[in-house]
Chains A and B, each alone.
Chain A
């Protein structure tokens, strides 16, 4: 069974700080997606990474896919209250496997 573990489960930091959240598995994925979910809404896709070692940037967010395509990280620089939400990773195996998410709170 393919599993995706996200860490930390919960993170609360002050505005302006940097942070990194992780998505790990013992399985190899063909690609991996990161979604952000705000309260009362459905998840929204942020990025898809496909190649081992790939790095993608979305403004202050930097996504990296591990060389072995088993893990990924999301780094946020100078976090803002608008970054608050649940961050979900989803890996493509024989089907799409979802992590449990990291709940991120950025305090003003």
Chain B
């Protein structure tokens, strides 16, 4: 069974450009999470969805960030316009049922974003 799939694996873009990160969760999982990881701030939860509905977006840094989940098998995280301080590894994770804080989260391989 395939795990969480993220694309692209690496993205290099110039400041001001729009960036779209994509995620396909594990089939049947009803929770989807977007995280950002940097050396300075560690792993930060940006937003999570339950049954395609955004539940908590309090971690989204600012209006330049937006996330959608149009169906159970696809989600996007968009940054527009991008800035150098957005450079980080972005992870998508999914989990099945129950409380998202108890059940195991399965992480994708991440997208390494570099904004120059």
Contact = CB atoms under 8 A, between A and B. Distances in A.
A45 B43 contact: no
Nearest to A31: B102
Interface stretch (A55-63, A66-74, A90-98): A90-98
B39 to A, nearest CB: 9
A41 B101 contact: no
Contacts of A99: 42
A98 B38 CA distance: 13
Interface in A48-104: 48, 88, 92-93, 95-96, 98-101
A96 B101 contact: yes
How big is the A interface, by class?
10 to 19
A43 B110 CA distance: 10
A42 interface: yes
Interface string A15-42: 0000000000000001101000000111
Main secondary structure of the interface of B (DSSP, over half): loop
B110 A95 contact: no
Most chain B CB neighbours (cut-off 10 Å) among A40, A92, A96: A96
B42 A95 contact: no
B34 interface: no
A44 interface: yes
A41 B91 CA distance: 9
Given A95-B56, A96-B45, A98-B45, A42 B99 contact: no
Given A42-B93, A44-B107, A30 B102 contact: yes
Contact of A45 (B56, B101, B104): B104
Interface of B: 4, 42-45, 56, 91, 93, 99-102, 104-105, 107-110
